[in-house]
Structure 1
Amino acid sequence: MKVLIIGSGFMGTSLALKLKQKNSEASVSCIEQNSVAKAEVDQSDIYDETYHEFNEVSDSYDAVIVCTNIAEVKNNVEKCQEKFSSSTLITDISSTKKHISTLINQGYVSSHPICGSEQSGPTTANADVFDSARVVVVGHDVERVKNFWQSLGCSIFEMDARTHDKFFGYLSHLPHLMAFAFDKLTESIPHRDDLMPESSRELLRLGKANEDLWNEIFKDNKEILDESVIEFVKHLTNTKN
């Protein structure tokens, strides 16, 4: 199997490692436009080929997985649809779907692996994050994308784009927003890191995630996130009283 990863960050490179772990004969290449990140992957033996620009790659891949930041996903998917034939599986791993809802309505199938880490960058990649991972697929004709993830040992769930964004807006994006706020609220408290209880420490761990990445998620899912914050504040006030 010949796979192209677009974006060699933590998730993209962890996926590359898992692909090779599952199939020692798999050929996995990547496109990485960030010069620092590309230098890091060039020094490793994870990828068979690394490229800096999209026009450098051939059109002979079995699968292309877009693992870039949300702001770059739609453009990359559209370029893939133009370059590769219908025999090439194309999907992404973004945490929100509003930004690509028009493509989904046109027949594109998006993915969302429910795994990850507060760490970032290719040097921290770990194939184990995909062990028994759950993956949500969003679209209509989803069988090929489901088969790809199932070949890695993942469990599959299906949702439409709106349901996906509301579900994860409440159960993932809101908790991360709370974690960032909690980190800022408590950062000036003396001996915080030394004496913090374990329950609070876990919230603080979430607050150390890649803030740029999460700001993109918050922006794309703003409508639902605003709704969830209003409802949470109501419950918080009622519980306090």
Structure 2
Amino acid sequence: MMNGVNQISIMGMGLMGASLAAALKDSAYTGAVTGWARRDEVCEVAKQSGWFDSVTADASAAVAGADLVVFCLPVQVIGETVLELVSDFKPGAVVTDVGSTKLALVEALTMRLAEGSVSFVGSHPICGSEKSGFEAADTHLYRNRLTVVCPSASEAANARISALWACVGSEVLEMGAREHDGLLASTSHLPHMVAALVVRAVASEPDAIDFCGTGFRDTTRVASGSSAVWADIMESNRKILRASLVRFQDELSGLLTLLDSGSHAEMEAWLREAANQRNEMVENSRYID
């Protein structure tokens, strides 16, 4: 399944990176797993986990000799770090990432890495948590989840990345980077922005905290995600995300009109339509628990 991959280096050992290491150790993969983090305290915790064969705070050392390198960092940091290490990758290595936006990375890295006989194949495992850090790692995070792979010109590199995600239990779907960013703006990035808006609106109400129940908790859960990660997503996908927010604004304007002059029956019909749409989406998705 992972023929020719003797070493996988995971760059970044937060939720996504640590979970990937744990999943690889729980899989059929028998090669070495190297972990990298900037902070010594993260490296020390990683060494104690048993999920890594080696751990280092030296990024150049981490990628040297690796057949496959996975960057599990915020989107903007991924691009910067890959370019800093461009001369350290092993010729023939394949580099991928777990970022939530793809087009900017594919455009910035593909040709630059190819100059050193290194392939870049963008990935996005559509999973995660509002929790972050090594301590939030989940061995089964990727299992039965969809991972989008944005194929490069190299069939061999594409196959290697698809095999990685299949190895940890993901279903792999190939998709162009531009199409990916458009879809995820609506299904992932927009909901996060709306959750943040709800929190900000409610937080301005005096004494609101005493009346926040499970509805508030469930609706706003994702707003607790890493602000650094999500600021990068906003910045790297700002044009497409803005278009999604404009569509949301149109829906909000319609709701305001309904509140101003709509009848009870019209309000009930509006809510029923949304409930039916939501139920159909959830029932037909293989990836929503």
Structure 1's consecutive aligned runs of 4 or more residues displaced over 4 angstroms after TM superposition are 188-195
* Residue equivalent to 1:144: 160
Partner of residue 114 from structure 1, selected from 115, 120, 126? 126
Residue 104 of structure 2 corresponds to which residue in structure 1?
Answer: 99
**Structure 1, residues 190-217: CA drift from partner, whole Å, max 9, x if none?**
6655644534321221111111211111
Q: Within the alignment, does 1:172 sit opposite 2:188 as a pair?
A: yes
Q: TM-score, normalised by structure 2?
A: 0.75
C-alpha deviation, 1:130, in angstroms: 1.0
Partner of 1:85: 90
1:6 equivalent in alignment to 2:22? no
Q: TM-score, normalization: structure 1?
A: 0.89
C-alpha separation between the residues in 2 aligned to 1:20 and 1:37? 19
The alpha-carbon deviation at position 112 of structure 1 amounts to: 0.1
Q: SS at the partner of 2:148?
A: strand
Q: Match of 2:75?
A: 70
Partner of 1:201: 217
Structure 1 residues 40, 192: CA separation in 2 closer, same or farther (over 3 Å shift)? farther
The size of the alignment, in residue pairs, is 241
Are the counterparts in 1 of residues 65 and 89 from structure 2 also a CA contact under 8 Å? yes
Identity of aligned residues (%): 27
Matches within 5 A, 1:2-41: 2-23=7-28, 25-41=30-46
Structure-1 residue corresponding to 2:143: 131
Rounded Cα–Cα distance in structure 2 between residues aligned with 1:26 and 1:172: 33
Q: How far apart in 2 are the matches of 1:70 and 1:200? A: 29
Query: Is 1:217 equivalent to 2:229 in the alignment?
Result: no
Unmatched tracts of structure 1, length 5 or more: none
Q: What CA RMSD, in Å, does the superposition of the two structures yield over aligned residues?
A: 2.3
Map of 1:45 onto structure 2: 50
Moved more, 44-53 or 202-211: 44-53
Give 3-state SS (helix, strand or coil) of 1:57's partner.
helix
Q: In structure 2, how many angstroms separate the alpha carbons of the residues matched to 1:135 and 1:77?
A: 21
Contact 2:16/2:137 (<8 A) preserved: yes
Unaligned segments of structure 2, at least 5 residues: 1-5, 112-118, 258-289
Rg comparison, structure with higher value: 2
The alpha-carbon distance between structure 1 residues 225 and 24, as it changes in their structure 2 partners (threshold 3 A), is closer
